[in-house]
Chains A and B, each alone.
Chain A
Amino acid sequence: MSDKAIVVNNVRKTFKLNTSGAASIKTALLWWKRRKYQTLDVLRGVSFEVGHGECVAVVGRNGAGKSTLLGLLARIYRPDSGTIQINGRVAPLLELGAGFHPDLSGAENIIFNAVILGLTRAEAIRRTPEIVAFSELGDQVYAPVRTYSSGMVARLGFAIAVHVDADILIVDEVLSVGDFEFQRKSFGKIEEFRNKGGTILLVSHHAEAMRKIADRCVWIQHGEVHMEGTPDEILPAYLAKSESDLRGSPPGPVKIEGPDLGSA
């Protein structure tokens, strides 16, 4: 099956919601009496494929299950049922600079993050100058990360992720980092990655950007694949639907977003 970069087959994911907050033995014992928690079916049988060198954009409203899907592809979650096959090395850009340690310098964090993403130490050390140059941090890279601005952290995170020779990039709304100039540069880097035959799966709300780089769109609604096709087919339909949702009945009770559960 290695003719495809990503094969997602009938994947389901349900989250259990614990309404009481604290994780403690006390809560567990209280639950014992009336064990009830809400479940949330975030993904209900999603299937799609991404070929090598393809760029697929996933669209959908907040809470449709996009970020959960990306989390599954990045192996942060395991599906409850169904299978996910990935052929190639994945660099997930889910949250830039998530793994940085504030007390270590940018340079030390480069090594650590690059090794997590699959480089060897030697390779990571060799790449460092290139990464530093791309991130435009200059000598600041020797200062502890806690002294960085959020833009600097994001720039460094992005620079690392695109320099680890991944085969597949998984991108979650991170193309809007840094100032205009840096955005242009990171966009260029993504396109360069594509031209070299890399596979990209991205989530974005930025229609213009998706039209520019995506070959195909997958529209996810209520945890299922609603439509699949070229950006020109999907995006107008998706935008029209979003607009009619907005104009139509006032938004009902706010749905809890799947991807944010963990951090809540």
Chain B
Amino acid sequence: MLAELKELWSFRELLYTMVQRDIRIRYKNSILGFFWSFLNPLATTLVMTVVFGKLLNNDVKNYSAYILSAYLPYVFFQSSVLDSSQSILSSIQLVKKIYFPRELLPLSLVISNFIHLLLGFFVFFLLLLLNYLINPGQIPFRLTTIYLPILLVISFMLSLGMSLLISALNTFYEDVKFVMSVALYLLLFLCPVMYFIENIADNPAVLRHPLWFKLYNLNPVADLCVAYRKILLAPTDVAISGSIAKAHPMPLPWMWVAYSAVFSFLVLIFGYSVFNRLKWRFVERT
């Protein structure tokens, strides 16, 4: 793997060009260009806020910020993996004619999605500021925001590892892409995006059977969503179904962050080694 990393480094100029090309192609033929990358998260947040914040009367101040803070990392993971799943096949003509490290194809897509994530967080902070200027109150920015880079690194490793694995497998079995698009859609419900982790942790039914909660936390994307939300936004009380009292916010569980870091690193190593085993056979795919 070391030799491969060394070679990758020597192709960094190509990686840069590929990321730039990818971003350019994405918005080449649309007038609003980069705006579209924010349309999906903003529209989703808006709908979720209306349904869960207003219609279901979940009385939390600034509900949309809580949704967006977790939705952005979820969408980064989802679109990285989905985009990369086709990356080898859509460039197969190039792969058949010219040598370059094949991992550049998924890697460049993960990086361009990562750039969208960063821009998404930029818009997120802008919205926080805007909200503060309109209804002044507590300063919305929190000191714990300095932990954001740590979470970003973990998210990046996880997405890249999965993308390498899926792109390699999908090159041989195109079913993988369909399975993944369903799995990634379902993942949204398994992550605390449109609800709070306290909704699950303090649910009487879950409290009676703690194993459910443990299983829920095995999902590293869910753990990351919790962490992003906790470091970026003030803790808030949450109404729990089946109980009259509101749940107090739980502190940021660093254990989960550590777990997802280790998990993500292992996924990255595993994904890359599978990719390296299969990459010479991409052109011989029948």
**C-alpha gap A121/B17 in the complex (Å):** 8
Known A-B contacts A76-B96, A99-B98, A121-B13; A108 and B172 likewise in contact (beta carbons under 8 Å): no
**C-alpha gap A117/B97 in the complex (Å):** 11
Q: Which residue of B lies closest to A20 (CB)?
A: B286
Q: Convert A20-41 into 0s and 1s, putting 1 for each residue whose CB lies closer than 8 angstroms to a CB of B.
A: 0001111010000000000000
Besides the known contacts A25-B175, A78-B280, A103-B29, 19 further A-B residue pairs in the complex with CB atoms under 8 A apart: A18-B286, A23-B174, A24-B173, A74-B97, A77-B284, A92-B97, A92-B99, A94-B98, A95-B97, A99-B97, A104-B21, A104-B25, A115-B17, A119-B13, A120-B13, A121-B17, A261-B284, A261-B286, A262-B283
**C-alpha gap A16/B284 in the complex (Å):** 8
A187 within 8 Å of B (CB atoms):
no
Q: Which residues of B contact A (CB under 8 A)?
A: 13-14, 16-18, 21, 24-25, 28-29, 93-100, 172-175, 280, 283-286
A103 and B173 within 8 A (CB)? no
Q: Which of A24, A74, A76, A111 has the most CB of B within 10 A?
A: A76
A263 within 8 Å of B (CB atoms):
yes
**C-alpha gap A77/B97 in the complex (Å):** 10
Q: Which residue of A lies closest to B21 (CB)?
A: A112
Q: Which residues of A contact B24 (CB under 8 A)?
A: 104, 108
Q: Which residues of B contact A92 (CB under 8 A)?
A: 97-99
Interface residues in A1-30 by Cβ distance below 8 A to B read 15-18, 23-26, 28
**C-alpha gap A78/B172 in the complex (Å):** 18
Q: Which residues of B contact A104 (CB under 8 A)?
A: 21, 24-25, 28
- Which interface class (under 10, 10 to 19, 20 to 34, 35 or more) fits A? 35 or more
**C-alpha gap A92/B64 in the complex (Å):** 53
Known A-B contacts A76-B283, A92-B97; A116 and B174 likewise in contact (beta carbons under 8 Å): no
Known A-B contacts A25-B175, A104-B28, A115-B13; A99 and B283 likewise in contact (beta carbons under 8 Å): no
B285 and A23 within 8 A (CB)? yes
Please give the distance in Å from B154's CB to the nearest CB on chain A: 30
Q: Convert A218-233 into 0s and 1s, putting 1 for each residue whose CB lies closer than 8 angstroms to a CB of B.
A: 0000000000000000
Partner of A262, one of B25, B96, B99: B96
Partner of A98, one of B97, B173, B286: B97
Partner of A77, one of B21, B174, B280: B280
B173 and A23 within 8 A (CB)? yes
Q: Convert A33-51 into 0s and 1s, putting 1 for each residue whose CB lies closer than 8 angstroms to a CB of B.
A: 0000000000000000000
Q: Convert A72-90 into 0s and 1s, putting 1 for each residue whose CB lies closer than 8 angstroms to a CB of B.
A: 0011111000000000000
**C-alpha gap A76/B18 in the complex (Å):** 19
